[in-house]
Structure 1
């Protein structure tokens, strides 16, 4: 299927597969379902401009270009990519991974994979540039990385495989999930799948949110965050939808817009 549907460009060393894909989109030379992979990245990047550690042959470093004529739902596309990575690792035999807000895959809190999506204009269409980094091999991680947070890989979780096989497992569900995210008749199911994949519905969680307006479930203001900073909220996660997530606090329900959510973790 990969050869029939996807146009795979395999690089030895690049600065970033997402940078390479974005350059081709801007130049007007990218194709729909174009994929860039690399053995090594010298400037791999993750969310908020953070570097992504990209040792030679140690992980899957891949970016997919997916064109759409409609204005994409950014939250749905991000959820779709994360769900596709989860689909792939489950197909490879890892059943204990879950999604961590907004775009990481974790196992017992240790980071396994990350997703970064950019939407670029291209000749009247939008190109979704979907970058994925997934730790595959068994080599030890550098101290500066593990000091920041716990990290794991497929090999460390007992799944012996290689980047090319991970790519084969990833691309079909990634295409299917993106198609669903861009389909108005199917997009609502994306957030339900994402909520289930976090494993957090109905549990006590800590939400770190940018200050903004929150409301109770009836739509009237529950509280207003005025300062230009982040605030933590602890409560039971009752609902997750495109218009926000709902917590049950001791003082009552609180709805936080998704675009304000910076972190969602077990309490």
Structure 2
């Protein structure tokens, strides 16, 4: 470790307070993908609560094969390993992770937050944060590796991206502190995941619906074989999207699909 990473980890531990014993955090100056590396560590028995935080990520992965590249200072990029009993359905886990991010940023004074199914956090209608959940079976337990990339400042070339993006610096009147934000998000993830283990997604569905940034709007569902226009009618108790097309409500599971506003 470098002096810089040691200092940041000490600051993270202090910011976590009573929750510091729940997490085993490691900070890297640079890595290819925090999710990939943490999945490797999970296969070797890393404990629940393991966190891999990178100041720079060079080959990060988003949904549908998209890249998530982060540079020092522009993005908070980390992955969390949380182990669940294999008897628990993990449907809707990415939605609950998004709720935890909203909880955390709201506690820091950020307004204008919303969620876009299945794994984006919006700030004033622009993408602020993306999530990627990958699962790994190990005996009677399932390890969920939750990767989160959150824009602290707008990255170079943001205007060329395929959707509007936002940064936390847009919403806070003070300098953005990565360790403080990470501590807030980890704490809320622990709270939400413990509740998820007891209640599944159904117990937090109403919370998610209250944050749905596309509620009642006309949207485009983009799939490999084409696009469908419909009204966003929320999600069901398993976290599946409910898309109203004419008089029919279609249930859409997560996977290799994308959801956008109709005009986007």
- TM-score for the superposition, normalised by structure 2: 0.82
Counterpart of 2:155 in structure 1 is: 141
Is the alpha carbon distance of 1:98 and 1:243 closer, same or farther for their aligned partners in structure 2, counting shifts above 3 Å? closer
- 1:27 and 1:261 map into 2 onto residues whose CA distance is 28
Q: How does 1:1-267 map to 2 (within 5 A)?
A: 1-28=18-45, 30-137=46-153, 140-143=154-157, 146-159=160-173, 160-183=175-198, 185=199, 187-201=201-215, 203-208=216-221, 210=223, 229-235=225-231, 237-241=232-236, 242=238, 244-249=240-245, 251-259=246-254, 262-267=257-262
CA distance in 2 between partners of 1:247 and 1:173 (Å): 29
Distance 1:243 1:170, change over 3 A: closer
Distance 1:51 1:186, change over 3 A: closer
For the Cα contact (< 8 Å) 2:97–2:192, is it kept in 1? yes
Report how many residues are paired: 243
Q: Distance in 2 between matches of 1:100 and 1:189?
A: 19
Gaps of 5+ in 1: 211-227
* Superposition RMSD in Å: 2.3
Following TM superposition, by how much is the alpha carbon of 1:153 offset from its aligned partner in structure 2, in angstroms? Answer: 0.8
C-alpha contact (below 8 Å) 1:245/1:258 kept by paired residues: yes
Higher radius of gyration, 1 or 2: 1
Match of 1:213 in 2: none
Structure with the higher fraction of residues in helix conformation: 2
- Segments of structure 2 that go 5 or more residues without pairing to the other structure are 1-17
- The answer to whether the 8 A contact 2:125-2:213 is kept is no
Q: TM-score, normalised by structure 1?
A: 0.81
State the alpha-carbon separation in 2 of the partners of residues 107 and 90 from structure 1: 11
TM-superposed CA distance for 1:64, in Å, is 0.7
Whole-angstrom distance in 2 between the partners of 1:36 and 1:163: 14
CA contact (8 A) 1:120 1:127 kept: yes
